[in-house]
Amino acid sequence: MSVPAAKLPLPELAEMKRRDEKIVMVTAYDAPGARFAEDAGVDMILVGDTAAMVVLGHSGTVAVTMDEMLFLTRTVVNAARRPIVVGDMPFGSYQVSDEEAVRNAIRFVKEAGADVVKLEGAGPSVSRARAIVGAGIAVMGHVGLTPQSATMLGGFKTQGRTARAAAKLVDDALELEEAGCFAIVLEAVPSPVAAEITKRLSVPTIGIGAGAACDGQVLVYHDLLGLSEGHLPRFVKRYANLSLEIRDALAAYVAEVRSGEFPEEQHTYSIPEEELALLRDAVQQVEHDHERG
């Protein structure tokens, strides 16, 4: 019997930053994705609210609900042993008050088994993060492009491109660190700005479209595997083109069922000849009895 891998201790992430060892995070939304990510050696799995788009088919992230996120998080937790599982708090689950934020963070840990939670933004989110950490749940922050407030940011745009906006991002990240966040995602931020933030924080930064100076990187599972189709942000690197393979495989299946090529002998079950003969006799007898009324 193989011994399950031990969970990566959370303080190890800060140690990795200190040792200048890169931290790897990827999103996943189900058990197979979590297993593949774990076997590849990732340190953290984010059950991102990008699920709204890549799994549930919405055009943005705001529509996904707490119950949907809890369900998806549970499927990942069921399969992930060593990686830290991050439950992404959906829009509406922490905006109203610190109390509601704490209540929903507790649901992530208690009902879905998440190790930690993530929330977006600074401003009021700083107080939410502090309250959740105060309740004993570790929090990952997220600044820069925060998709839940994309409308207010003027769309899915790079953030911090003026000295003033960049200085605000530095302040936001410092405030989140001070509130107790154990790591901070920097999304769509110019690399030199992300480097400044990374230098000033003692907790790790995890970049997505924020350059190589971040302490770690995160990408969306469907994007890096080529399961997402259509336009992708410039920060995505595709490591595979699985949507093509899936399309080819499904088209081949459809064609083979229609032509009768599938299933073949090897895909079917047999019955001993004598049992088949008995079956035929029995069926004949039933038909005979039926005809005689």
Task: Name the minimum Å distance from CB 53 to ligand KIV.
Answer: 9
Length of the chain: 293
Q: With binding defined as CB under 6 A, does residue 109 bind ligand KIV?
A: no
Per CB under 6 A, the list member of 185, 189, 193, 224 interacting with ligand KIV is: 185
Task: Name the minimum Å distance from CB 25 to ligand KIV.
Answer: 8
Per CB under 6 A, the list member of 26, 45, 72, 88 interacting with ligand KIV is: 88
Chain position carrying tokens 């920060």:
235
Beta bridge partners of 87: 47, 117
Name 208's Cβ contacts closer than 8 Å, sequence gap at least 6. Answer: 185, 186, 187, 188, 217, 218, 219, 235
Cβ-based nearer residue to ligand KIV, 52 or 109: 52
DSSP line for 204-215: PEEEESS-TTSS
Helix (H, G, I), strand (E, B) or coil at 216: strand
Q: With binding defined as CB under 6 A, does residue 158 bind ligand KIV?
A: no
Backbone angles phi, psi at 258, to 5 degrees: -65, -35
Q: With binding defined as CB under 6 A, does residue 50 bind ligand KIV?
A: yes
DSSP 290: H
Per CB under 6 A, the list member of 28, 46, 84, 214 interacting with ligand KIV is: 46
Look up 187 and say whether it is catalytic.
yes
- The contact mask relative to ligand KIV for 111-150 (x = CB under 6 A, - = no) is -------------------------------x--------
Helix (H, G, I), strand (E, B) or coil at 289: helix
Site for ligand KIV in 217-236 (CB under 6 A): 218, 220
Among residues 38, 120, 187, 196, the one annotated as catalytic is 187
Helix (H, G, I), strand (E, B) or coil at 57: coil
Q: With binding defined as CB under 6 A, does residue 48 bind ligand KIV?
A: yes
Site for ligand KIV in 253-282 (CB under 6 A): none
* Helix (H), strand (E) counts: the chain: 11, 8
Cβ-based nearer residue to ligand KIV, 195 or 206: 206
Name 105's Cβ contacts closer than 8 Å, sequence gap at least 6. Answer: 89, 94, 117, 132, 135, 137, 139
The token pair at 150 is: 């994309």
Residue nearest to ligand KIV (CB): 48
Cβ-based nearer residue to ligand KIV, 27 or 131: 27
The token pair at 249 is: 């495989």
Whether 107 and 66 have beta carbons less than 8 Å apart is answered as: yes
Task: Name the minimum Å distance from CB 123 to ligand KIV.
Answer: 18
Q: Which listed range, 37-45, 47-55, 105-113, 126-134, lies at the site for ligand KIV (CB under 6 A)?
A: 47-55
Which residues are catalytically annotated?
187
Note the residues at the interface with ligand KIV (CB under 6 A).
27, 46, 48-50, 88, 142, 185, 187, 208, 218, 220
